[in-house]
């Protein structure tokens, strides 16, 4: 698996530092509150667990499963809800956690879906933000790294559902796509 990587963009240490920085910021911003942290499956799993352990807060956790890429390297444009959250978010301080914000479609969809349920506040935290990918308006409140317009894998991000368990974020070798 590691042989398929052309270069590492963010190492384990880089990611750890970003989690510490964002966790400290959230700890400060949500002091005295009990935020509900909602992870967007599946890409978020590693960031979600690392970020939460850097938050010194009474936070509870839920997940929502939506899909937009359907295995390819470009967003299909179609967002589908695979599994909804399991709690009522009315009057809650909601923090959506994502691995990457790209076209913005996933977050635009989630914002529309969840803000209608009247949370007290609604913020978005993403490890990676790819501003050049945007096709609809979407903005994160907390960002780990602004990333270049390249297809990335690792630390939750997949290519055809694989490479999620790389401990770093990297760029695949072009021949990996060519061989598919």
The rounded radius of gyration (Å) of the Cα atoms in the chain is 16
Distance CA 122, CA 141 (A): 10
160 is an interface residue for ligand PRP by CB under 6 A:
no
The answer to whether 58 and 34 are in contact (CB under 8 A) is yes
Distance CA 131, CA 153 (A): 17
Toward Mg ion, which CB reaches closer, 122 or 159?
Answer: 159
When CB distances to ligand PRP are compared, the closest residue is: 43
Nearest to 148 by CA among 171, 125, 168, 173: 171
Toward ligand PRP, which CB reaches closer, 33 or 131?
Answer: 131
Toward ligand PRP, which CB reaches closer, 106 or 144?
Answer: 106
129 is an interface residue for ligand PRP by CB under 6 A:
no
Shortest distance in whole angstroms from residue 21 CB to ligand PRP: 21
**Catalytic residue (choose from 50, 93, 99, 102):** 102
Integer angstrom CA distances of residue 49 from 108, 120, 164: 24, 24, 14
109 is an interface residue for Mg ion by CB under 5 A:
no
> 116: how many CB neighbours lie within 10 A of its CB?
8
Q: Which of residues 114-173 bind Mg ion (CB under 5 A)?
A: 158
Q: Which of residues 62-121 bind ligand PRP (CB under 6 A)?
A: 67-69, 75, 98-106
Toward Mg ion, which CB reaches closer, 93 or 102?
Answer: 102
99 is an interface residue for Mg ion by CB under 5 A:
no
What six digits make up the tokens of 95?
Answer: 């923090």
Position among 42, 111, 139, 173 found at the interface with ligand PRP (CB under 6 A): 42
Residue 13 designated active-site: no
Q: Looking at the chain, how many residues does it have?
A: 180
Which residues neighbour 150 within 8 Å (Cβ) at sequence distance 6 or greater? 171
Catalog residues that contact ligand PRP under the rule CB under 6 A. 40-43, 67-69, 75, 98-106, 158
| Residues that are catalytic | 102
Catalog residues that contact Mg ion under the rule CB under 5 A. 69, 158
């Amino acid at each position: 698996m590691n042989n398929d990587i052309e270069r590492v963009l963010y190492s384990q240490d880089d990611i750890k530092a970003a989690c510490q920085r964002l966790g400290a910021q959230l700890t400060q911003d949500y002091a005295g509150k009990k935020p509900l942290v909602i992870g967007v499956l599946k890409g978020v799993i590693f960031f979600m667990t690392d970020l939460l352990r850097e938050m010194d807060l009474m936070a509870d956790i839920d997940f929502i499963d939506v899909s937009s890429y359907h295995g390819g390297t470009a967003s299909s444009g179609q967002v589908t809800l695979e599994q909804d959250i399991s709690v009522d978010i009315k009057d809650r301080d909601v923090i959506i956690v994502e691995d990457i914000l790209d076209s913005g479609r996933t977050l635009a969809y989630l914002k529309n879906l969840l803000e209608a349920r009247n949370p007290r506040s609604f913020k978005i935290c993403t490890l990676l933000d790819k501003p050049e990918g945007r096709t609809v308006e979407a903005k994160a409140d907390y960002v780990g790294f602004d990333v270049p317009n390249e297809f990335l894998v690792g630390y939750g991000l997949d290519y055809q559902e694989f490479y999620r368990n790389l401990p770093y974020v990297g760029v695949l070798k072009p021949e990996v796509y060519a061989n598919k």
